[in-house]
Structure 1
Amino acid sequence: MRDLDRRFVALLVLAALPPAVEGVVLVALDFRAAEGLAPQVTAVWPYDTYHDLRWLLVYHDSWPDFVINVAVVVVLRALLTTGLVVLAWPRQVARPSVRWLAGRNMTLTSALTVVVSPWAAISVAASVVALSWLLVASLLPLFLLAPFLQRAAVVGTWWRGLPSIELVGWSLLNFVVLTIGGALVWTVPDWWTAPVAAVAGLVNGLLWQRTVAAALLPRRPVRWARVPAAPLAVLLAFAVPLVVQPLLQLLPQMPTKGRALVLDRPLPGTVRHAVIFLDGHGSVYGGQPTADPNVQWFSYRGLDPQGRPLPYAARDTYRSIASSIALLATQVELLHRRTGRPVALIGQSEGAIVARTYLADRPHPAVDILAMFSPLINAGRSYYPPEGASSGWGIAAGWELRALFGLADIFARSGSGPDEPFIRSLLDNAPFYRNDLMCPVPGVRILAFLPTTTATEAPPGEYTGIPVFQMPAVHGGLLTEPVVQARLVNFLEGEPVSRPQRGYALLQQVSAAWQAPPLPLSVNPVWRNDRVPDPALNGKVCQPR
């Protein structure tokens, strides 16, 4: 019994120490945005490997660097897992030798790295474009696979049969603990970061003990004991993203109420501005005229000889932000000249990015209102070099994303991918989109309409220096809400509009554990902005240069 007590204490110490060390290092580096990852260092599979791979995919600048780092991390992870399993092993079951467990965990860690790597790469993509659905897409497969993979370290036939209800329950609790732990680690003052991370590690130790016991001492016979359930679950996790997008494209596309507000309904006479509406990435415009002559649809293809917006297809929105700005500058000038009115810009998603960048790069004095819907908050937090580069930060992540999106595009045939000009614009101009996107512009009234899902798209901390209107919705869905349409008209009429939600900051904090760590602006020579304030380090935006 005394030996069991010593092993239990040793398990808790081994589970608590690495998160505390990572917490100390992150505090010493002032790396606020990544502190929520610390509790995952000793998490139960597969979340520990997910933690490792997100760091690896962001922090390497050459292929040799990546290969060496992967080898080192796999060895260290296998040894740490072996120690946790040995100390968590129940006394009712004879334990194999430590050498056998170490060899087994080395093999399984290597295999698990391959299985989890695509989802870690997608989390890097999520940090580039700041889209919540990509973050969810990176987590759901892990959530599905966790109960199957948690038997791998201790059960020889772990890949056959369904996991027990106990393993499913411990897996769910594991996710909840890591989410809460990440939020708490980020929320507490710096001097509490390491202790709170250590407490989260202690809970990890308890979960290792319960998970190992549930795998070795099932209360009921394993169901479907002859079925290779774990490989089938892995295949399912890979197959779902490949078929969902093509199936969605088969659904009939209905015009949104937001488009009807802009296209089919004259604006009230109290609105004294001409309006240009810029739709988002993948949008389509058929060339239909607007009901209000003072309203114009922004075309990603430009204007015809008569100055009318040209119809465009989804692929026309894939263009670089700089080229879209050039088109917008022409349309603003012609609309202002034709109507004699000041111009208001209404941008959604990519359209919001284009409009805000336009105000920074080549503003027209007639533009004095900007309404942004679902802007990509804090985009460009990670990096990968262009396809032809031989080195650069995140080079392996870039090629893995090309493979994943290329495979998905065989079915979806969208033509979108990690190297399209719009994405490269976010990557190459990351300092602006991380620090300045949600900041005031002298002489321009700006309002951001934010769905609550944007709270999961950026690390906790400051995210805006402009008024915001927040309400429950998904990305791109706010313009369908009557209350939002009414507040937009109020804003265009000159009224102050603002409605922040109290729970928004809490959602930021609970998502902190599941984002890829940002690449500091000073690290990447492509950005050449070592003097620009970095929200990843200070948790603030709109800081003077």
Structure 2
Amino acid sequence: MGRLDSRFVALLVLAALPPAVEGAILVGFGFRAAEGLAPQVTAVWPYDTYHDLRWLLVYHDSWPTFVLGLAVVVAFRALLTTGLVALAWPRQVPRPGLRWLFVRSLVQTSVLSAVVSPWAALSLAASVVALSWLLLASLLPLFLLAPFLQRAAVEGAWWRGLPSIELVGWSLLNFVVLTVGGALVWTVSAWWTVPVAALAGAVNGLLWQRTVAAALLPRRPVRWARVPVAPLAVLLAFVVPMVVQPFLAAVPGTPKQAPMTPLLDRPLPSDVRHAVIFLGGHGSAYGGEPTADPNVQWFSYRGLDGQGRPLSFGPRDTYRSIASSVALLDTQVQSLHARTGRPVALVGQSEGAMVARTYLAERPHPAVDTLAMFSPLINAGRSYYPPEGASHGWGIAAGWELRVVFGLADLLAHSGTGPDEPFVRSLLDGAPFYRNELMCPVPGVRIVAFLPTTTATEAPPGEFSAVPVFQMPAVHGGLLDRRVVQARLVNFLAGQPVSKPQRGYALLQEISAAWQAPPLPLSLNPVWRSRGTNDPAFTGRICRPR
């Protein structure tokens, strides 16, 4: 019994030490935004590899660096897994030699890295565009694969048969532990991060013990023992990134047509003294039909005709750079103000909100004194990858992996969008502004942000807004159809203050902390460095000078 106890203690120590070390390093550098990842260093497969690949895909600046980093990561993971499995091995089952365990772990880690890599890349994409559905698309396949992959380190025929209910249960508990552990690690202050990360790691050790025992000592015969279930599950999981874009076309809140708002389908109330420009989101379309009130216009991603009327546009017209949209908006604001003589209010959704806020930052705007943002992309541009023709740059391998993933998805979706779309590149290149200043006040301009609750999962915890917010349960782009939101928008345009912070928003941020890709520091990327600004990844604050 004493020897068993010593092995169990050694397992807990081995599982606790790496998270504590990573936590100490992050605290030492003041890297607050990445602290939630620390407990995953010793997580049970596949979450440990998901942890490793997110760091690697963000933190490499050339192909040789990526290849070398991948080799180091795979070797380290194989060694650590060998130790964890050896210490977690049930006493009543003969254990293979350490050499056999290491070779098996090395092979399985290599295979698992290839399997998990596309979803780790999607996590990076989520940090670029700050969209919760991309983060969800990167996590869902892990739920599917985890019970199958957890047998790989200990069973020769792990790829055949269904996992037991015990393995499924431990897999789900593993995810819960990592989620709660990431939230706690981020929530505690300063050096408390280290012992909390160590405690979460020790729980990982217990989960390793239970998972290995469940794999080696099933309580009932394996079902479908002759069927290669694991490869089929992997194949199914690979289909997820390919169909995610067509699936989104059916998701409520995806901007496929003109939202029904009181701005577009009825005259403005008499107490609204502004002319209004509505800026649709990414993938929106406008057929050129007149609005109910001549003081209200759609913003056109194609510009104005000879009479100053917005031209019709289709979804692909929204795939333009933010800078070009800002130029079009500047012209349209001046035209509408000159025609109506009224001050101009901007109402932007998603991409439209980003265009409107960038316009206020980059152009003189004496005619504009009001901005309502719906589903802005908060803290976008947290990761980076260079343009397609570049030979080096931070995240170069991640960029090419995303091109492959979205290229395959576009075979079904035919959307024409992808990681090199001009709008996405605008977020990548303008990261210092979008990470630090997007949600900051603008002198002389009243601003409110209408945020769906999913926004809380789209960025690491920390301060996210210095302007009034109206928060409500919804998905991205799904607020404008709500009657209560429409009423608040009209109230805001009429000059009334609008604010409704939602309880639990900060908690949702903390819960998602474990699953964010680690941000790339603004000071590390030469593309961003010259714009010297505060980095919320370290300060947890926005709207601050460097």
TM-score, structure 2 normalization: 0.98
Name the residue aligned to 2:327: 326
C-alpha distance in 2 between matches for 1:104 and 1:238 = 24
139-148 or 260-269: which moved more?
A: 260-269
Shifted more, 370-379 versus 256-265: the winner is 256-265
User: Which range moves more in the overlay, 169-178 or 239-248?
Assistant: 239-248
Give structure 2 stretches of 5+ with no counterpart: none
Q: Distance in 2 between matches of 1:155 and 1:266?
A: 69
Partner of 2:443: 442
Please name the residue that 2:119 is paired with.
119
| Residue identity opposite 2:378 in structure 1 | I
SS of the aligned residue for 1:259 comes to coil
Q: 2:385·2:393 contact (CA, 8 Å) conserved in 1?
A: yes
- Over aligned residue pairs, what C-alpha RMSD do you find? 1.4
Counterpart in 1 of 2:430? 429
Which residue in 2 is equivalent to 1:218? 218
**How do residues 41-120 of structure 1 correspond to structure 2 at under 5 angstroms?**
41-120=41-120
Query: SS state of the match for residue 487, structure 1?
Result: helix
Quote the offset at 1:288 in angstroms.
1.0
Tell me if the contact between 2:261 and 2:481 (Cα under 8 Å) persists in the aligned partners. no
Paired with 2:164 and 2:27, the residues of 1 have a C-alpha distance of: 39
CA deviation profile, 1:83-138 (whole Å, cap 9, x unmatched): 00000000111111110010000000000000000000000000000000000010
Residue 403 of structure 2: aligned partner: 402
Structure 2 vs 1, CA of residues 530 and 92 (structure 1 numbering), >3 Å: closer, same or farther?
farther
In the TM superposition, what whole-angstrom CA distance separates every residue of 1:316-349 from its partner, at most 9, and x where no partner exists? 0000000000100010000000100000000000
**Greater Cα shift, 236-245 or 274-283:** 236-245
Deviation at 1:306, TM superposition (A): 1.3
> Could you tell me which amino acid in structure 1 is paired with residue 130 of structure 2?
A
Q: Secondary structure at the match of 2:235?
A: helix
1:17 corresponds to 2:17: yes
Which whole-Å deviations, capped at 9, do the CAs of 1:231-263 have from their partners, x for residues lacking one? 100110111332343355589999878434222
Q: 1:125 to 1:34 in 2, by over 3 A?
A: same
Letter in 1 for 2:215: A
Compared with structure 1, are the counterparts of its residues 248 and 445 closer, same or farther at alpha carbon in structure 2 (3 Å cutoff)? Answer: closer
- Give the corresponding residue for 1:269: 270
Aligned length: 545
Structure 1: how far apart are the matches of 2:191 and 2:106? 35
* Pairing 1:149-188 to 2, within 5 Å after superposition: 149-188=149-188
Runs of 4+ in 1 over 4 A off after TM superposition: 247-257
SS of 1:526's partner is: helix
Instruction: Report the secondary structure of 1:275's partner residue.
Output: strand
- CA shift for structure 1 position 411: 1.0
Per the alignment, residue 28 of structure 1 pairs with 28
What is the CA-CA distance between 1:188 and the residue it aligns to?
A: 0.3
Shift of 1:530: 6.7
TM-score, normalised relative to structure 1: 0.98
Aligned twin of 2:351: 350
Question: Partner of 2:289 in structure 1?
Answer: 288
Distance 2:477 2:190 in 1: 36
Q: How far off is 1:428 after superposition?
A: 0.5
Structure 1: how far apart are the matches of 2:318 and 2:531?
A: 32
Quote how far apart the aligned CAs of 1:532 are.
1.1
Q: 1:495 to 1:141 in 2, by over 3 A?
A: same
Give percent identity, aligned residues only: 80
- In structure 1, runs of 5+ residues without a counterpart are none
Distance 1:250 1:163 in 2: 32
For 1:64, what is the secondary structure of its paired residue? helix
Give the match for residue 415 of structure 1: 416
Distance 1:199 1:250 in 2: 42
SS at match of 1:336: helix
SS at match of 2:447: strand
Please state how far the C-alpha of 1:272 moved relative to its aligned partner: 0.2
Question: What are the within-5 Å matches in structure 2 for residues 374-389 of structure 1?
Answer: 374-389=375-390
**8 Å Cα contact 2:137/2:240 also seen in 1:** no
What is the CA–CA distance in structure 2 between the aligned matches of 1:91 and 1:263, rounded to whole Å?
Answer: 71
2:518 match: secondary structure: coil
